[in-house]
């Protein structure tokens, strides 16, 4: 369980023609294990993006929390892949559409090697996203509202203001570090974030049956 902030990258905002973040919830049945496989029938027109995920060790109930409060609340970080989807043809969506559709969130994959915040450069970490070993996207922590911590802070304040504050144990997907890419069935995607590690997921080939 947890929450996500979306549209934090200027590149992704430009792709979708919006100019502000949004947010959605993460449910248990949206989680795919690291290295797991996604079947075509689960999705419509999926795209994927690489992110930094945080798992909280403290409740965040105050909408006026500071950056220091946010840092203290993070138990550990993980590399993540978020798989987004849309019911609207050709992703011709507005900010209203994506908010109504749970911030376009469909599935997510978390890496399996947690890191403390002081073990990597949260704002400066470089990201490389590959499909079958070919680079399809790249970026860095600062592409995400200046830092994934800043994005998480925005989300925590927003959820507290909405009366649904983030709690200890919640997972936060802090937003894309670079442009999202279209999923091609039959390929394996892997995201590597410097200092944080890698996370991977496979997309089963489509069949005619």
> Is the per-residue pLDDT at 4 higher than 70?
yes
Once rounded to an integer, what is the mean pLDDT over residues 176-196? 95
Q: Tokens for 99, please give them.
A: 């908010």
Does residue 69 belong to any structural domain of this protein? yes
Token pair 């902030």 is found at 5
Q: Tokens for 152, please give them.
A: 């998480």
Does residue 131 belong to any structural domain of this protein? yes
Does residue 209 belong to any structural domain of this protein? no
CATH number at residue 103: 3.90.850.10
pTM of model > 0.95: no
Model confidence pLDDT, tens digit, residues 17-53: 677 788 999 999 999 999 999 999 899 899 999 999 9
Q: How many angstroms separate the Cα of 59 from the Cα of each of 9, 75, 166, 170, 198?
A: 26, 11, 6, 9, 28
Does residue 208 belong to any structural domain of this protein? no
Does residue 91 belong to any structural domain of this protein? yes
Q: How confident is the model at residue 206 (pLDDT cuts 50, 70, 90)?
A: confident
Calpha distance 73→2 (Å, rounded): 14
Percent of the chain with pLDDT over 90: 73
Structural domain total, the chain? 1
Model confidence pLDDT, tens digit, residues 61-83: 999 999 999 999 999 999 999 99
Task: Give me the domain span that covers residue 21.
Answer: 2-203
The pLDDT value recorded for residue 199 is 98
Token pair 């900010």 is found at 95
Model confidence pLDDT, tens digit, residues 172-184: 999 999 988 999 9
Calpha distance 171→169 (Å, rounded): 7
């Amino acid at each position: 369980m947890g929450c996500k902030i979306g549209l934090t990258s200027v590149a992704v905002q430009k792709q979708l023609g919006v100019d502000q973040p949004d947010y959605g919830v993460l449910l248990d049945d949206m989680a795919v294990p690291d290295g797991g496989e996604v079947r075509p029938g689960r999705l419509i027109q999926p795209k994927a993006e690489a992110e930094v995920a945080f798992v909280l060790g403290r409740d965040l109930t105050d909408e006026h929390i500071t950056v220091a409060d946010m840092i203290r609340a993070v138990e550990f970080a993980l590399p993540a892949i978020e798989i987004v989807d849309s019911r609207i043809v050709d992703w011709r969506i507005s900010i209203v559409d994506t908010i109504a559709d749970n911030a376009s969130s469909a599935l997510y994959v978390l890496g399996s090697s947690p890191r403390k915040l002081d073990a990597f450069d949260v704002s400066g970490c470089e990201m490389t996203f590959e499909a079958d070993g070919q680079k399809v996207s790249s970026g860095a922590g600062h592409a995400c509202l200046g830092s994934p911590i800043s994005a998480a802070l925005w989300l925590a304040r927003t959820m507290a203001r909405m009366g649904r504050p983030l709690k200890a144990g919640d997972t936060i997907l802090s937003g894309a570090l670079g442009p999202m890419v279209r999923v091609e069935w039959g390929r394996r995607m892997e995201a590597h974030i410097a200092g944080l590690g890698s996370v991977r997921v496979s997309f089963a080939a489509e069949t005619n049956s």
